[in-house]
Structure 1
Amino acid sequence: MSLVSGISLCGVLLSAGSVEAGLQQSQRSGAELKANFQYLLSDFSGPVPSQWARLDFDPRQQEIYTLNQSQNEVRIFNRQGMEIFAFGGDGSIVASIDIAVGDDGDIYMLARDFGRNAIQVLDYRGEPQRVIELQGLPEEFRGFNPDRMEYRDGRFYLLDSRMLCIVVMEAGGGFLKGYDLGPDFAKKAEEQDPEKKKALAPEISGFTVGSDGSLFFTVPTLFSAFRLNPAGVLDSFGTSGSGPGRFGVVSGVATDPRGNIYVADRLRSVVMIFDPAFVYLGEFGYRGDRPEDMIVPDDLAIDPAENRVFVSQAANKGIGVYSIHLAR
């Protein structure tokens, strides 16, 4: 695959008071990528710091929800990237590890102690409403303790990143189906390292659900991203390396309405874009200290209406917002 490197610069004054800046980016021959930094999510004091926050975007209200796990604090930001509400951080909500927003505006919190607190349902002000418990879990999933959660079309998708299992449950908590990915990952690891010299246990990092119900996840130790379609067919892509389109330490993953796949890389501090056939289209980002730069990117969220990508980062940098234009 031939790669063409390029830099695109552009400056536009934003309503949030920051400057849209062009980013260092690489492009595949035949693809046109324009990625511009808009701003860091902020309150009236400036950018809001957070460490690898969990993200979920509400397309109906055009709001982004963030969960800062270290402080167990939820913040809600409007379309312009300004904070409009915050709660938690004071022991008022159950310790949580992931967040999702429902179709009716309910906020779902995946409890850190899932066996005891399950999924907490809060209203828009963070007031507890009810608890959704997983029911009818088959014996083969005994010990299932999810640490990632996605909600789409009335279903919850729960991931246990260490057990390498995914459970799909209905809105009321009933078990629908489950996937044990351990055997598939073991086979992939054996193909990459037949002499078992590395012996690194696979663990899932990024996780998301596509519009057609396909599951996407990344496994850093396998230098791979995976797609599990509704029929149960598992596909993978990715090549290790430090150049454009290569995987260093992959983390967050997201998809847009066109089926393009966004993959964050902690080591390279970039977000790569692949089409539905896993063809590399380009990437954006650069490790540095400027606001538009990235520091160890992790979770991703997509605004499908305005083609924006939200990127959580390390070093308390907070969440960067980037506008994307991709044409082929």
Structure 2
Amino acid sequence: MRKLILSMIVMYAVPVYAQDDGSDALLRSLTDAAPPLAMERVEIELAPPLQIDQISGITTDESGNLYIFQRGAAADPIIVTDPSGRVQHSFGSGLFNRPHSIRIDAAGNVWTVDSNTSMVYKFSPSGETLLEIDVGDVPDPAAESCAAADIAVGANGLVYVADGYCNARVVVYDSGGRKVREWGRAGTGPGELNLPHGIAVSPEGEVYVADRENGRVQWFTTEGEYLGEWRYGGRVLSVAFSPDGELFISAEPKGAVPQQEATVLRIDRTDGSVVGKIDDFGHEIDVGADGSLLPASLTDRVVVYRP
């Protein structure tokens, strides 16, 4: 029995802050050579002020309103503001143990992921709960994060969940929340995953995954067929597409102090090369309709980079 327990601990251990595995030099060489992106850093002040903390995700609707997903106990988990930071409304109280990811689909619906419970919620823009998906298969419910990490909704209505903490898979649902398929297994080979932390659907419908601890981006068909990968080293935290199809990732070295040597990188989709950077941390990143970059700081700072 003791051997069984030990094997289970090893199986479900999550390398949240693993040390440099030799790939940090690659990431640093890529970021050092990249030119700064011509964008203005704007720190948004909420009005009226709210006591928030650990912003894990920021997204925006077509009008530029910000949807802030935060973990502080003094305010609702989801706070909606206009582009200047004036608070419009908030919602989600009592639903989340550990807010992790927030996205808005083409119809304006708001999707969230809890990395402790593996619950996915779909809301209307006003905060009405429209759908609940229990991803399940959480190996250790007592762990802070041992569940799903991110979500993406394709133009075909399919919902893709990066079930990265403890599990190494992508789980796919239809628009009604019924499971369609899953793919992925732990490892370093093609199509294998080591903490898939971010996910996004390209304009062509391919599924891009931020394979965090493998320091790479992989992409797949909607059926889960492996199509290719680009290696950047360190840990790749998030992946996002702009409305016109530009690709962005966020990354940081494994051996650095967390959040202190991080970058958001613009990627050339023809060859995976880095064509520009912003020196800032992005736990999750998103791109607004106007091309603004939205890196979630995991602090109380609401930061937007505007073109």
* TM-score under structure 1 length normalisation: 0.65
2:162 is the alignment partner of 1:177: no
Name 1:26's counterpart in structure 2: 34
Name 2:123's counterpart in structure 1: 122
Cα distance, 1:225 vs. partner? 1.6
Contact 1:75 1:83 in 2 (8 A): no
Rg larger for: 1
Name 1:197's counterpart in structure 2: none
- 2: CA distance between counterparts of 1:318 and 1:49? 10
Alignment coverage as a number of residue pairs: 257
Unpaired segments ≥5 residues, structure 1: 6-23, 28-32, 191-200, 241-247, 287-293, 324-328
Unpaired segments ≥5 residues, structure 2: 1-28, 140-146, 254-260
2:60 is the alignment partner of 1:57: yes
- 2: CA distance between counterparts of 1:275 and 1:48? 39
The alpha-carbon distance between structure 1 residues 236 and 70, as it changes in their structure 2 partners (threshold 3 A), is farther
The alpha-carbon distance between structure 1 residues 47 and 41, as it changes in their structure 2 partners (threshold 3 A), is farther
Contact 1:261 1:274 in 2 (8 A): yes
- 1: CA distance between counterparts of 2:235 and 2:205? 26
Paired residue secondary structure (2:188): helix
Cα distance, 1:236 vs. partner? 1.0
Decide which of 74, 83, 86 is 2:86's aligned counterpart. 83
Over residues 268-314 of structure 1, what are the superposed CA-to-partner deviations in whole Å (9 max), with x where a residue is unaligned?
3221111112342422223xxxxxxx3x33211112x4222111114
- 2: CA distance between counterparts of 1:297 and 1:133? 26
2:70 is the alignment partner of 1:68: yes
Name 1:213's counterpart in structure 2: 205
Contact 2:48 2:87 in 1 (8 A): no
Partner AA of 2:249 in structure 1: V
2:290 is the alignment partner of 1:306: yes
Cα distance, 1:320 vs. partner? 2.8
The alpha-carbon distance between structure 1 residues 181 and 216, as it changes in their structure 2 partners (threshold 3 A), is farther
What are the equivalent positions in structure 2 for 1:95-174 lying under 5 Å apart? 95=97, 96-111=99-114, 114=117, 118-128=119-129, 130-133=130-133, 145-153=147-155, 154-161=157-164, 162-174=166-178
Contact 2:191 2:218 in 1 (8 A): no
- 2: CA distance between counterparts of 1:255 and 1:87? 26
Cα distance, 1:235 vs. partner? 1.1
State the Cα RMSD in Å.
Answer: 3.5
The alpha-carbon distance between structure 1 residues 212 and 37, as it changes in their structure 2 partners (threshold 3 A), is same
Name 2:5's counterpart in structure 1: none
* TM-score under structure 2 length normalisation: 0.69
Contact 1:41 1:48 in 2 (8 A): no
Partner AA of 1:251 in structure 2: L
